[in-house]
Amino acid sequence: MKLELGKVFIEDVQFGESTHLDGRILVIDHAELLEAVSGDEHLWKIRVDLAHPGESVRITPVKDVIEPRVKVKGHGGIFPGMLSKVDTVGNGRTHAMKNVAVVTAGKVVGFQEGIIDMSGIGADYTPFSKTHNVVITAEPKAGIKPHDHEAALRTLGLKAAAYLGQAVKDVEPDEIKTYETLAPREAAQLYPELPRVGYVYMLQTQGLLHDTYVYGVDAKKIVPTIMYPTEIMDGAIVSGNCVSACDKNPTYVHLNNPIIEDLYEEHGKTLNFMGVIITNENVTLADKERSSNWTAKLTEFLGLDGAIVSQEGFGNPDTDLIMNCRKIEEKGIKTVIVTDEYAGRDGASQSLADADPKANAVITNGNANEVIVLPPMNRLIGTTAYVDSCAGGFDGSLRSDGSIEVEIQAITGATNETGFVHLSADAY
Amino acid sequence: MVKEIERFGLPVVHVCTVVPISMTVGANRIVPAVAIPHPFGNPALDVKEEKALRRKLVEKAMKALQTEIETQTVIE
């Protein structure tokens, strides 16, 4: 399967008469965008705000971050099974609007975190302070059930990203990159001298605000399966989770997964990238055992020599991570695991809830318990009403001057476990 | 907490969903629970069924508490 990804680099975003590109400035017709995303019976008071890099703006609680994309050639449309029909995507040509993100924000249930600061020290911890953000908030109608509320907000963001993506459909991209993955038999013959490497992509699947969707299917209901990496670039995997926002994968990260990018970069040079195995992180032991058994079985089935395993979240998914690692290693296949740490505020505690001697190659994306003080911002999109009770927050987190003392786990993407961040750690 | 109470001399049963973590942290008597969001119950069952499930789990834990063990043991 072969995908050409055309990137259009946007320099600014403004509201204007009609939605189009003026050179490399995205002009958005505010009324037309609202029209495109409205229609859900559960939501009202939909609001669109712009937040630019360097501005004194805080966005919280963040639900999802999505890159606008559009299918130009090939089967199906963007976000199959969610917005488009369930055609298998990942071939042909897709255009991506770079430097722009749709951010959905607002409370869904109980306490909820996810902070994006567009300037100040907090901006260094989130990749989404560098994008021009089209922030969408909406009020739920009275009596809405939490699951319906989550689904409505999730769809709202996807619709906005698909709508904005249309603006780059007929634009000549600044850069075109071609990604190709062959079926296993041909792929293995392609570079017989290079090690065959696969990517085990663990998806958070633990319930409301902890779910992920694959072609529209709630991933807690799947058994592990194999995907072409380019399917994921066309939005086959969509986020429905945002709790402890530092190490959750917003849809933006699924679309731009850096492990997939890097494996393609090394494909044919140092390794033979065979494809992606997706698996879940469920809440019963039987599910964890079954999924890790299947993941290990599929690494063997693909004839891999090595696998990179990335986690999403922390706590009990540490066990899924370690089970995957141990069972794949027991097949004689080398693993590298990619995670983050909850090592306490002083960094001295055990980093993961589970461990195994076979997990001897580990990449960390930082300690989520590190405390940070976020300075006050001039403009707030959303609400800071829940900061004291969010994951990583504590009584008194929100100070009277508007500054926030909080663990970095509250910051969207701060310790992302696909490496979509700047934090890491060295061993001494 | 399991280890600290045992250090004090009282036997402990750790009822928990993710048995491998319980093994890693060094619990001695482990009884597998139902699921992470609801270790001691199952909201999918009706009231009567769930009460029976809960009672069974507590009785199993009580029995485990009285079981002589030599090493870390999972009591199914």
User: For position A394, what pLDDT does the model report?
Assistant: 83
Q: What is the 3-state secondary structure (H, E, C) of chain B?
A: CHHHHHHCCCCCEEEECCHHHHHHHCCCEEEECCCCCCCCCCCCCCHHHHHHHHHHHHHHHHHHHCCCCCCCEECC
CA A201 – CA A279 distance, rounded (Å): 6
Average pLDDT, chain A: 95
**Residue A135 near residue A120, CB atoms below 8 Å:** no
Which whole number is the average pLDDT over A133-145? Answer: 93
Q: Which residues of B touch A206 (CB under 8 A)?
A: 36-37
User: For position A214, what pLDDT does the model report?
Assistant: 98
**Residue A92 near residue A74, CB atoms below 8 Å:** yes
Is A242 a catalytic site residue? yes
Which whole number is the average pLDDT over A418-427? Answer: 79
User: For position A421, what pLDDT does the model report?
Assistant: 85
Q: Which of A206, A207, A319 sits opposite B18 (nearest CB)?
A: A319
Distance of CA A238 to the CA centre of its chain: 8
Which whole number is the average pLDDT over A262-291? Answer: 97
For residue A109, name the pLDDT band (cuts at 50, 70, 90).
confident
Domain-wise residue ranges, chain A:
2-410
**Residue A225 near residue A278, CB atoms below 8 Å:** yes
Q: Which of B21, B35, B37 sits opposite A354 (nearest CB)?
A: B21
CA distance B70 to chain A (A): 23
Provide the number of structural domains found in chain B: 1
For residue A110, name the pLDDT band (cuts at 50, 70, 90).
low
Is pLDDT above 90 for A408?
Answer: yes
Percent of chain A past pLDDT 70, that is, above it, reads: 98
Task: Reply yes or no: is the peptide bond before residue A53 cis, omega within 30 of 0.
Answer: no
**Residue A72 near residue A94, CB atoms below 8 Å:** yes
CA A101 – CA A67 distance, rounded (Å): 5
For residue A294, name the pLDDT band (cuts at 50, 70, 90).
very high
Which residue type, as a one-letter code, is found at position A134?
V
A311 burial type by CB count under 10 A (0-12 exposed, 13-18 middle, 19+ buried) = buried
Is pLDDT above 80 for A64?
Answer: yes
Q: Which of A242, A246, A325, A390 is catalytic?
A: A242
| Structural domain range at position B53 | 2-74
Binary contact (B34, A355; C-beta < 8 A): no
User: For position A423, what pLDDT does the model report?
Assistant: 72
CA A93 – CA B62 distance, rounded (Å): 62
CA A227 – CA A364 distance, rounded (Å): 25
The tokens describing A230, both together, are 């380019």
By the CB < 8 Å criterion, does B10 face chain A?
Answer: no
Binary contact (B36, A353; C-beta < 8 A): no
CA A97 – CA A21 distance, rounded (Å): 11
Size of interface A-B (CB pairs under 8 A): 34
How many Cβ atoms sit within 10 Å of the Cβ of residue A256?
19
**Residue A352 near residue A338, CB atoms below 8 Å:** no
CA distance A297 to chain B (A): 20
Percent of chain A past pLDDT 90, that is, above it, reads: 89
* Angle of CA points A324, A329, A330, to nearest 5°: 100
Q: Which residues of A touch B17 (CB under 8 A)?
A: 283-285, 316
**Residue A249 near residue A365, CB atoms below 8 Å:** no
Binary contact (B21, A288; C-beta < 8 A): no
Binary contact (B34, A322; C-beta < 8 A): no
For residue A342, name the pLDDT band (cuts at 50, 70, 90).
very high
Angle, helices A146-165 vs A30-37, to 10°: value is: 130
CA distance B65 to chain A (A): 22
The tokens describing A119, both together, are 């300037």
Q: Which residues of A touch B34 (CB under 8 A)?
A: 284
Q: Which of A316, A324, A342 to mutate to test the interface with B (most CBs of B within 10 A)?
A: A316
**Residue A349 near residue A27, CB atoms below 8 Å:** no
Taking only the tens place, the pLDDT of each residue in A201-212 is 999 999 888 899
User: For position A386, what pLDDT does the model report?
Assistant: 81
**Nearest CA among A242, A219, A83, A218 for reference residue A156:** A83
* Backbone φ and ψ of A56, nearest 5°: -85, 75
Which residue type, as a one-letter code, is found at position A362?
V
User: For position A428, what pLDDT does the model report?
Assistant: 67
C-alpha pair distances (Å), A371 with each of A216, A259, A310, A342, A363: 37, 28, 24, 12, 21
Q: Which of A206, A285, A355 sits opposite B32 (nearest CB)?
A: A285
CA A54 – CA A157 distance, rounded (Å): 23
pLDDT in tens for each of the 76 residues of chain B?
888 899 999 999 999 999 999 998 899 999 999 999 999 999 999 999 999 999 999 999 999 999 999 999 999 8
Taking only the tens place, the pLDDT of each residue in A218-273 is 999 999 999 999 999 999 999 999 888 999 999 999 999 999 999 999 999 999 99
**Dihedral of alpha carbons A299, A302, A304, A310, sign:** negative
Judged by phi (left if over 0) then psi (alpha if -120 to 50, else beta), residue A384 lies in: alpha
Is pLDDT above 80 for A427?
Answer: no
Angle, helices A285-301 vs A317-330, to 10°: value is: 40
